[in-house]
A = this chain, B = another copy of it.
């Protein structure tokens, strides 16, 4: 109130030091190393700071000098808001947030609009590292992240060999689920899966597209299915596989409808996520098909809503996955070569899978 009638420019550490007649170092120490100056001086610094409206050291300037941003970036393939719609993504976020919290680090959600090729948001993100969660292999944002000179953990992605990775054995887990259905006697099945690439392709999927899928997770789940059923003598190229771009129950329902329209004889509907499976069950009910008496339905993820209806599925530890990703990233130990972590999954046999009507034996010889 005394010195300057009008604060033309906001106070800085330097101006505060000048006002006090001490060095900038001392002011800095007042905030960061209280033991480096006398209590009286420190108090004087802080008092003057308050009087001048100095809000404390600027975070960005500090980050520049210390080379630490105090935050990790999260890159998602979807619109930022998608993450808050998908139960599995939410679980992942929660785990990651937990790890960040433990480390006192912020979590920066990087806007990565999949529509646009604009990767500026990745370049502008002031972070100490990145977590990349389930983006297509050819996503330009992923490429941009990999060019940044900060540690990175990819999640639900192929092992790049150059950065840490955490995920599950999608292929193995789905293989196991398929074995379960096969042992029940299912041979004529249909599949509803999530998007396989960046382009929208709501419809049947060719074997080519299955192999070339840009989403690691979906590619491997389909591959696990194909392997198991092929071994069981099923010609996988004849199995109806339907893809949906949007991931919600409505997609699950319409996908199931498309499969059932193509082949009403199928005895099991395999979905690559629980959300899709829940939609599929709605569609089955709409058609008067009883689950599992008339048709079996399976999912993947192990979300709460699925649990409540006794969905047969693969439970994956989504929260742990997020936490593991964060731990890996924030682990300050000397980085040797990139680590790769696979978390355990669990086959959950619920009330939505059973032997096909007519019994397993009856179908044992037919295709």
- Which residue of chain B has its CB nearest to the CB of A112? B101
- Which residue of chain B has its CB nearest to the CB of A105? B111
Q: Which of B73, B79, B108, B111 contacts A104 (CB 8 A)?
A: B111
Beta-carbon contact of A148 and B69 below 8 Å: no
Q: Which of B69, B101, B113 contacts A101 (CB 8 A)?
A: B113
Q: Which of B80, B101, B105 contacts A107 (CB 8 A)?
A: B80
User: In the complex, which range does the number of interface residues on chain A fall in?
Assistant: 35 or more
Q: Which of B60, B85, B100 contacts A69 (CB 8 A)?
A: B60
Taking the complex as formed, is A288 at the interface, i.e. its CB lies under 8 A from any CB of chain B?
no
Beta-carbon contact of B80 and A101 below 8 Å: yes
Taking the complex as formed, is A20 at the interface, i.e. its CB lies under 8 A from any CB of chain B?
no
Beta-carbon contact of A100 and B80 below 8 Å: yes
Taking the complex as formed, is A55 at the interface, i.e. its CB lies under 8 A from any CB of chain B?
yes
Q: Which of B55, B61, B79, B83 contacts A64 (CB 8 A)?
A: B61
Residues of chain B within 8 A of A85, CB atoms compared: 94
Taking the complex as formed, is A43 at the interface, i.e. its CB lies under 8 A from any CB of chain B?
no
Taking the complex as formed, is A284 at the interface, i.e. its CB lies under 8 A from any CB of chain B?
no
Provided the pairs A59-B124, A80-B100 are in contact, do residues A106 and B105 lie with their beta carbons within 8 angstroms? no
Least CB distance from A84 to B in Å reads 4
Taking the complex as formed, is A363 at the interface, i.e. its CB lies under 8 A from any CB of chain B?
no
0/1 interface trace, chain A 27-61, chain B, CB 8 Å (1 if under): 00000000000000000000000000101111111
Taking the complex as formed, is A338 at the interface, i.e. its CB lies under 8 A from any CB of chain B?
no
0/1 interface trace, chain A 259-291, chain B, CB 8 Å (1 if under): 000000000000000000000000000000000
Residues of chain B within 8 A of A60, CB atoms compared: 60, 63-64, 69, 126
Residues of chain B within 8 A of A61, CB atoms compared: 64
Which of A53, A70, A148 has the most chain B CB atoms closer than 10 A to its own CB? A70
Least CB distance from A33 to B in Å reads 14
Residues of chain B within 8 A of A106, CB atoms compared: 73, 108-111, 121, 124-125
Provided the pairs A80-B98, A84-B90, A126-B126 are in contact, do residues A10 and B149 lie with their beta carbons within 8 angstroms? yes
Bound complex: CA of A55 vs CA of B119, how far in Å? 13
* A interface with B by C-beta (< 8 Å): 10, 53, 55-64, 69-71, 73, 79-81, 83-85, 90-91, 93-95, 97-98, 100-101, 104-111, 113, 120-121, 123-127, 147-149
A-B contact pairs, 15 of them (CB 8 A): A55-B147, A60-B126, A64-B64, A79-B101, A80-B100, A84-B90, A84-B91, A84-B93, A84-B97, A100-B109, A101-B111, A104-B121, A105-B111, A106-B108, A108-B108
